[in-house]
Amino acid sequence: MSNIARHVAIIMDGNGRWAQERGLKRVKGHERGAETVRSVTTFASNHPEIEVLTLYAFSTENWKRPKMEVDFLMRLLNRYLKNEMNTYIKHQIRFETIGDLSRFPAALQNQISLMKERTKEFKRLTQVLALNYGSQDEIARAAKSLCEAKKEISVKSLQESIESSKFGPVDILVRTGGDQRLSNFLLWQSAYAELFFTQTLWPDFNPDELETIISQFKQRTRRFGGI
Ligand code: FPP
């Protein structure tokens, strides 16, 4: 039986370089990147296999960027969520997040809650945005909570305590922008993920390239540690 692309996760990298190559400000790359988020999400919602699409939108390390860029990303996210509400409803996409939202501006937090509430019954696709997300932090927090509750630490108990585990194991992990690393993204859930690295910068990525990646994924042999 061929591999099923149930959970696709993407590290969206290369926005800044896309803009710089065109003599534009880095934030213009993020703006174009938001358009790619829209087209890839709509594609995923119409794909027969994809149930979960997790996108790395803001890492715990991204706070180190200049304040102006961080503020721009916050506003862009807020605007995106407001503008896209109808798209999520039309395509029956449930919106979810992973990561610690408490550091985000209140208006953005409210918009995120509203989007989650309005889309919570939808089953066609779950789009998970990783926001202020870091995998090591999440695994450490899960271990700490088990210790505090005096529970045994095992693969099963950790699995149940890690926030993002509820979206299931990653089947396909894509990183755009040419680098070949995981950058603290979904480390636990990607234990047996098939990895794909593309030179394409995120604003240039499109559903056709994702379709090609899915076809290649179908050709791979997944042994999950067996023979
Ligand atoms: C990495 O590119 C991208 C980010 C840190 C932010 C991702 C944000 C978006 C795709 C747009 C907004 C998201 C949503 C969900 C609407 P980079 O800036 O590190 O690029 P570089 O490596 O070329 O500098």
Ligand 1 pocket test: pick from 10, 11, 13 the residue with the most ligand atoms within 8 Å of its Cβ. Answer: 13
Give residue limits of the domains in the chain.
Answer: 7-134+169-219
Model confidence pLDDT, tens digit, residues 21-74: 999 999 999 999 999 999 999 999 999 999 999 999 999 999 999 999 999 999
Model confidence pLDDT, tens digit, residues 184-208: 999 999 999 999 999 999 999 999 9
DSSP string of 14-60? -HHHHHHHTT--HHHHHHHHHHHHHHHHHHHHHSSS--EEEEEEEET
- pTM equals 0.96
17 lines ligand 1 (CB under 6 A): yes
Q: Is the pLDDT of residue 226 over 80?
A: no
Q: Is the pLDDT of residue 225 over 80?
A: no
Ligand 1 atom index nearest CA of 62? 5
177 lines ligand 1 (CB under 6 A): yes
Instruction: Summarize the chain as % helix, strand, coil (round to 5).
Output: 50, 15, 35
Half-sphere exposure of 224 (CA within 13 A, CB side): 5
Q: Is the pLDDT of residue 222 over 80?
A: no
CA dihedral 115, 136, 201, 191 (to 10 degrees): -100
Known catalytic residue at 62: yes
The CATH number of the structural domain formed by 7-134+169-219 is: 3.40.1180.10
Ligand 1 atom index nearest CA of 38? 16
